[in-house]
Amino acid sequence: MSTNTCVCCPTFRRGFAPRRPDRPQVCEVCRLRFDTLVYDLWLLHDRLVNPDPAEVDQRRYARRDQQGKRTGEHRWADPLAPIGGAGTIPGKTNQPHVSGTPGRSTPANLDQVDLTSPARVPNPTAAGRRDPWDQIGHLSVATRLYEIVRDWRDTLWPDQHLPVPTMDELVAWMRAGATDGYAGDRTDHACTRHPGIGDTAAELHDLRRILRAQLGDTEPQPRRWIGVTCPTCNEVSQIQQTAGDEYAECAECGRMYTGDQMTEFVTKQAAATRAVATA
């Protein structure tokens, strides 16, 4: 180990000084963030593969007869009415199938297709590896996770079998034993012992950004408590919270605070400010 600061902090805690971890390589905060990252990749991938169903129009209308009187019957509103209805749906043709006959064109979003392809088991080329996301289109998420899983297995668990290369199995393998406050045995060991863990964190972090962009999600912004003083180091406006994180953290002294603690400080400090203002 050539460094005694956390190798994942530059990725997961951008804007904060890297922590000095209690255990080799990775601080406790970043271990949890690594696990959250893998879980997020699974969720995002799932959304790409199974897009939200089109919204169904829940309105109903009373059916009327030709004289305009209610028939007592109700019908669902046509969900496609605002765009002029569904139009004709091509039925199955009676003509014999001719091979080479063009069918419907495929949806044109090739990025999405790449990202959700099944794992390609052989290694990509060296060129692809140098810049895997931009040069050869997006490698599929499953392909990249499979490579990481195989790398972890070869390095740390050479006696174990590889999981089946599906997203569900790969993510379950990486997150084995993960609970609310624990990254799981697999990720925990990899954080302590895998020499490439910092690079892997950075790459998967980038992949999450690409998946979010693909889904049209905006990258969640950190919350910052402007004007609030850190009770530990007395610096003002340094407490921040990464979106989705349970704890807020002071960028100056590194102390972590729960939501309840933050509510307490903010309430106390606001009361103190009011007291001064009305004195």
User: Which one, 163 or 198, has the nearer CB to Zn ion?
Assistant: 198
User: Which one, 47 or 255, has the nearer CB to Zn ion?
Assistant: 255
User: Which one, 153 or 224, has the nearer CB to Zn ion?
Assistant: 224
User: Which one, 9 or 174, has the nearer CB to Zn ion?
Assistant: 9
Q: How many residues bind Zn ion (CB under 5 A)?
A: 12
Q: Indicate whether 183 belongs to the interface with Zn ion (CB under 5 A).
A: no
Q: Indicate whether 191 belongs to the interface with Zn ion (CB under 5 A).
A: no
Smallest gap, in angstroms, from Cβ of residue 205 to Zn ion? 12
Q: Indicate whether 6 belongs to the interface with Zn ion (CB under 5 A).
A: yes
> DSSP for the chain?
---SS-SSHHHHTTTSPPP--SSSSS-HHHHHHHHHHHHHHHHHHHHHHSPPPPPPP--EEEEE-TTS-EEEEEEE--TTGGGT---------SSPP-TT---SPPPS-HHHHHHTSPPP-SPPPHHHHHSTTTBTBPPPHHHHHHHHHHHHHHHH-TTSPPPPSSHHHHHHHHTTT-BTTB--HHHHHHHHH-TTHHHHHHHHHHHHHHHHHHTTPPPPPPEE-TTPBPTTT--BS-EEE-TT-S-EEETTT--EE-HHHHHHHHHHHHHHHHHHHH-
Taking CB under 5 A as the criterion, the residue among 5, 117, 232, 237 binding Zn ion is 232
Q: Indicate whether 9 belongs to the interface with Zn ion (CB under 5 A).
A: yes
Tell me which residues in 49-88 interact with Zn ion (CB under 5 A).
Answer: none
Q: Indicate whether 240 belongs to the interface with Zn ion (CB under 5 A).
A: no
Taking CB under 5 A as the criterion, the residue among 233, 236, 270, 272 binding Zn ion is 233
Smallest gap, in angstroms, from Cβ of residue 260 to Zn ion? 18
Taking CB under 5 A as the criterion, the residue among 11, 16, 25, 30 binding Zn ion is 30
List residues binding Zn ion (CB under 5 A): 6, 8-9, 19, 27, 30, 230, 232-233, 250, 252-253
